[in-house]
Amino acid sequence: MKLIIIAGPPSAGKTAVTRQIIRHFLGKKKCAFLKIDVVRAFEDEELREEFHIPARKIYSGDLCPDHTGVMVLKDAIAWAEGLGTDIFIVESAGLCLRCSPYVTQSLGIVVLSAVSGMNSPLKMGPMISLADVAVITKTDLVSQSEKEVFREKTKEVAPAIDIIETNAIQGTGLRFLMRAIDQQAEITDPATILLRGIPPLGVCTICVGKREIGWQNHFGVVRKLDGADDIFRGD
Amino acid sequence: MAIYFHPWFLLLVMSSGAISEITILPGHDKHGNPESFDRIVIRPGDTLSIVGPTGSGKTAFINDIEVFACNDTSTGRTVLVNGEIPAEEFIRDPSKKPIALITQNTKCLADMSVEAFLAMHVRARKMSGSAIVAETIDLANQFTGEQIHPGCRITALSGGQTRSLMVADAILISNAPLILLDEVENAGIFREKVIEVLKEHCKSVIFVTHDPLVSLLSDRRLVMRHGGVEKILEPDGREFHIREMVARMDLTLCRFRERIRAGELLTEKGFTV
């Protein structure tokens, strides 16, 4: 079974890309789908109805969606393998732009929207830099020059990333994505799958529910307004 | 006005650049009927217009070219470069891609100055020299009656100014040998000037158009119907008289338009074209 992990900011077109993948492989490969979302999601129902494939969802609620992904992925792989799936697509939520749910033994796809502003790739970091493929959607809505600049900014974050530009609703230009999926190796051993990157620091007083503002009220990961740069220091 | 390029001149251009021709192989219309043409070959300096009712497949035709369709779009057409399936870098690397598409969308999302926007595109193309930014703005100003200043915000430009800038950008900065223009007439830019400059730069152009003058100024006309190419017309000079007449009518209309915009009452009697 091949594992595909799709991430990207909200409204970038992750589900439109997922639809194109399923449509392309329909009748040739067995696809299964898992959506990880925070509060509400409907993609599983829509895809099940449209393509008659096994599809489910999980809500992360108070947890970070990546954290939830790590927790449930082993079970989810067993579920999909149990159904005889050839291509298992996991679509994550992408809320804080720090998400990076890609694991080893998978194809990591980040979906970015060309209308989100030309500097947006620079604001995302590991969501782009740890992915194998960047699918840039809505390129039909921007000018040629904006498209080229967006591409260069994406390459600034991840020089070796495979960039695919598309209007995901029409599916233009996606043949290179389908080829990457064709060439993707199968999972060799689910027990050895690792998250590719290191998630953001997760346990802090805010995570556990303290709501007072001001660093004086917190311990663990503390940051002052001045003199901290982007390095977090314990206190 | 029309400049004729001798085939030997084209050969010279071909040998200096990588693209000598782009070929479109037939697909099928919306009902699945195969298209009747054998192949459509576009060479440097060619101008084609695509005409037909709304929904007849005009935009789909240029989109096929833009993505280098490989029997993988809804029309089933295939696009070849120099007679072969193009190398992947032609398709995927915008700095090598020989095609620039200027869509009907005249909105630019980047909220920055014209100068900074073009400079950013120049940097993305890894070109050197700052002169090209000023040249591009100068060229754009030949296409529009409303002056574009280097310090203007892109988002504050009118539709015509944006379209003019995009065309100038495609000619000078993208430097694409084939330019696809979707309804250039909608944006109120000087169409004849655009066509003249495109010919001067030896660009091939495909116009999707409803405009009589743009259609008549093209070497070939593709007539679309139900999603397929129905006919390919090569007027070969036979439309010369009508073309001259339409050009005069167009000029007259342009003058009226400018006077109306200037707030005049048009009271002449017995005005002749």
Complex ipTM value: 0.71
Separation CA A113–CA A21 (nearest Å): 18
Separation CA B184–CA B205 (nearest Å): 11
Instruction: Return the structure tokens found at B86.
Output: 């193009």
CATH of residue B209: 3.40.50.300
Query: How many structural domains are present in chain B?
Result: 2
A195 CB-contact burial (10 Å; exposed 0-12 / middle 13-18 / buried 19+): middle
What pLDDT digit, counting tens, does each position of B238-262 carry? Answer: 999 999 999 899 888 888 888 898 8
B145 and B88 assigned to the same domain? no
B93 and B117 assigned to the same domain? no
Domain range spanning residue B208? Answer: 1-98+184-193+200-236
What pLDDT digit, counting tens, does each position of A93-147 carry? Answer: 877 777 888 999 999 999 999 998 888 899 888 899 999 999 999 988 888 788 8
Domain annotation covers residue B231:
yes
Contacts of B88 in chain A (CB under 8 A): 176
Domain annotation covers residue B35:
yes
What pLDDT digit, counting tens, does each position of B145-178 carry? Answer: 889 999 999 888 888 898 899 899 989 998 888 9
Residue B134 belongs to what H/E stretch?
helix B131-143
State whether A148 and B109 contact (CB < 8 Å).
no
Cβ-Cβ pairs closer than 8 A, A with B, add up to 61
pLDDT band at residue A235 using 50, 70 and 90 as cut-offs? very low
Is residue B118 over pLDDT 60? Answer: yes
Is A116 in contact with A91 (CB distance < 8 Å)?
no
pLDDT of residue A204: 67
Give CATH 3.40.50.300 domain extents, chain A.
2-192
Mean pLDDT of A174-190: 94
Domain annotation covers residue B269:
no
What pLDDT digit, counting tens, does each position of B210-234 carry? Answer: 999 999 989 999 999 999 999 999 9
pLDDT of residue B10: 38
Instruction: Return the structure tokens found at A122.
Output: 């620079």
Radius of gyration (Cα) for chain A, nearest Å? 19
B130 and B14 assigned to the same domain? no
What pLDDT digit, counting tens, does each position of A5-33 carry? Answer: 999 998 899 999 999 999 999 999 999 99
Residue from the list B73, B108, B174 with its beta carbon closest to the beta carbon of A146: B108
Is B150 in contact with B115 (CB distance < 8 Å)?
yes
Domain annotation covers residue B171:
yes
Contacts of B175 in chain A (CB under 8 A): none
Across chain B, what does the average pLDDT equal? Answer: 85
Tell me the C-alpha to C-alpha distance, in Å, between residue A203 and each of A67, A92, A190, B56: 12, 21, 27, 59
State whether A145 and B63 contact (CB < 8 Å).
no
B224 and B93 assigned to the same domain? yes
Buried b (16+ CB within 10 A) or exposed e, B143-180: bbeeebeeebebeebebbbbbbbbbbbbbbbbbbbbbb
State whether B166 and A143 contact (CB < 8 Å).
yes
Domain annotation covers residue B241:
no
State whether B121 and A145 contact (CB < 8 Å).
yes
CATH 3.30.930.10 at A2-192, yes or no: no
B2 and B120 assigned to the same domain? no
Query: Which segment of A63-77, A180-194, A206-220, B47-61 scores lowest on mean pLDDT?
Result: A206-220
pLDDT of residue B13: 37
B72 and B188 assigned to the same domain? yes
Is residue A202 over pLDDT 70? Answer: no
Contacts of B94 in chain A (CB under 8 A): 144, 147-148, 151
Is residue A64 over pLDDT 70? Answer: yes
CA dihedral sign, ordered B198, B200, B203, B204: positive
B31 and B68 assigned to the same domain? yes
What pLDDT digit, counting tens, does each position of B16-25 carry? Answer: 356 789 999 9
B83 and B113 assigned to the same domain? no
Query: Which segment of A206-215, B22-31, B217-226 scores lowest on mean pLDDT?
Result: A206-215
CA dihedral sign, ordered B179, B182, B187, B193: positive
**E strand spans, B87-240:** 99-102, 178-182, 204-208, 220-225, 228-233
Is A18 in contact with A43 (CB distance < 8 Å)?
yes
* Torsion, CA A220, CA A225, CA A229, CA A230, rounded to 10: 50
B5 and B67 assigned to the same domain? yes
Tell me the pairing of strands A55-59 and A31-37. Answer: parallel
Mean pLDDT of B90-106: 80
B90 and B2 assigned to the same domain? yes
pTM above 0.90, yes or no: no
Separation CA B59–CA B103 (nearest Å): 9
Is residue B12 over pLDDT 70? Answer: no
Instruction: Return the structure tokens found at A137.
Output: 């959607």
B90 and B112 assigned to the same domain? no
B17 and B120 assigned to the same domain? no
